[in-house]
A = this chain, B = another copy of it.
């Protein structure tokens, strides 16, 4: 067992993937000597060289576009987008090319490209550094979209993402980068496939559904609720596309109440899909509508206000209360 932070777990996972397969490349802005602004690629260029850990020109469309070309040549590029808010210059390459080229080719082409995106707020950053753009990608057919929430998953999921023959948008909860856990890197949890979620805390009265940074928040909320005598089940989705529908529906059928939590704006956010799908499949099991807790329908605010924008324990529990109030 080794104690690893989430960022170090990703680093070790990538290192393992690079050792296992010489076709795996890392590319992005400042991923080389600097090791990325969050040090997630720290030391990899030193050990694998400049041909496998590529500091690119400063242009996100170029990063994804050339990664597609490298994948066409048989490589498995892992691209880093420096911050969530800077993925948009690459939107065209991701949405019209990366997602659609395999189908365009009738399966002749596989694009094993991973797009790593540090995401979410809570670190006191300036504008464009705290976004949660997952819904733009869950709506884009052809992509897999996953989010890790803890070091152990980070270590395994990044390797699974790299091994996947599909393009994977890989969200990393940046405010959890420094959280540590004791990991058995020999026993890497491959038994949970990349597209499966996990019940991270069992409960009976209501279900909290979350992913990425909000999993911890939900676990805290569930703990607090326990003192009030409420048993909350917490699901870490891990995969947003595809969704682990059986896991979610099974929980909802047991509890009858659901609160979905994410940082992105609620309006047209991924929580809408969850709420709609849960309601379609569990209509008669629901004691209350699926409630959503998330960002407001505003741009991410200046950091002095982010604690108000970001769902926290209280807002989650408030929603649970409202659910019970139905």
A135 closest partner in B (C-beta): B139
A268–B139 contact, CB under 8 A? yes
A275 closest partner in B (C-beta): B276
Q: Which residue of B96, B100, B299 contacts A103 across the interface (Cβ within 8 Å)? A: B299
The count of residues in chain A whose C-beta lies closer than 8 Å to any C-beta of chain B is 46
B279–A273 contact, CB under 8 A? no
B299–A100 contact, CB under 8 A? yes
* B-contacting residues, A217-258, CB 8 Å: 241
Q: Does A267 contact B (CB under 8 A)?
A: yes
Q: Does A141 contact B (CB under 8 A)?
A: yes
Q: Please tell me which stretch of A7-15, A28-36, A182-190, A282-290 contacts chain B, meaning at least 4 of its Cβ atoms lie within 8 angstroms of it.
A: A282-290
Q: Which residue of B268, B273, B326 contacts A267 across the interface (Cβ within 8 Å)? A: B273
Bound CA–CA A275/B279 (angstroms): 9
Question: Would A267 and B139 be within 8 Å (CB), given that A96-B128, A273-B272, A299-B100 are in contact?
Answer: yes
B141–A297 contact, CB under 8 A? yes
Q: Which residue of B135, B280, B292 contacts A268 across the interface (Cβ within 8 Å)? A: B135
B298–A141 contact, CB under 8 A? yes
A88–B99 contact, CB under 8 A? no
Bound CA–CA A241/B297 (angstroms): 10
**Mask: chain A, 281-315; 1 = CB below 8 Å from B; 0 = not:** 00100001111100011110000000000000000
B267–A271 contact, CB under 8 A? no
**Chain B residues near A292 (CB, 8 Å)?**
276, 280
Looking at A88, A276, A280, A296, the one whose CB has the most chain B CB atoms below 10 A away is A276
Q: Does A197 contact B (CB under 8 A)?
A: no
- Chain B nearest CB, measured from A72 CB (Å): 18
**Mask: chain A, 73-89; 1 = CB below 8 Å from B; 0 = not:** 00000000000010011
Instruction: Give 8 A-B pairs besides A136-B136, A272-B275 with Cβ atoms closer than 8 angstroms.
Output: A89-B91, A91-B92, A91-B95, A99-B299, A141-B297, A142-B299, A279-B279, A283-B288
29 A-B interface contacts by CB (under 8 A)? A88-B91, A88-B92, A89-B92, A91-B92, A96-B128, A100-B299, A103-B299, A135-B135, A135-B268, A136-B139, A138-B267, A138-B268, A139-B264, A139-B265, A139-B268, A141-B296, A141-B298, A142-B298, A142-B299, A267-B273, A268-B273, A271-B276, A272-B275, A272-B277, A275-B276, A275-B279, A275-B280, A280-B289, A283-B289
